[in-house]
Structure 1
């Protein structure tokens, strides 16, 4: 696949995610609230490390890309 098609597909995917976040904000409410996500809140400091959420997204993207681009 050439780079032009890739950028068009990536742009369409970003538009789809943006529309989903705009019109269905509860759709991604699970993000950052899974067991294993680290939240540290202090008086004037906030640290958020979404380890489990990133693993779930990585697995989902890997499955999707393997389904579409496997030879």
Structure 2
């Protein structure tokens, strides 16, 4: 298998894992939703904070092993 094929498989598995995690943290308490008529506006404030913390920890860990 070529390295490009392995990269696509790795990216596919990564997207599946992200999708599973996102289904659990997609709508946390503290996220703001406005509904007026047939318009919905969603501000994922708490979800953004959680994702930011997780990414910061991951980048910090990967930076130490570099």
Q: TM-score, normalised by structure 1?
A: 0.60
Residue in 1 aligned with 2:26? Answer: 31
- 2-structure distance, mates of 1:50, 1:68: 27
CA RMSD of aligned residues (A): 2.5
Aligned length: 56
Give ranges in structure 2 of 5+ residues lacking alignment: 1-6
Gaps of 5+ in 1: 1-7
Say which of 35, 38, 47 aligns to 1:44.
38
Bigger CA radius of gyration: 2
| 1:9-67 C-alpha deviation (Å, 9 max, x unpaired) | xxx5x53343233xx5x8623312x1210001121211000000000000000001100
**1:55 correspondence with 2:49:** yes
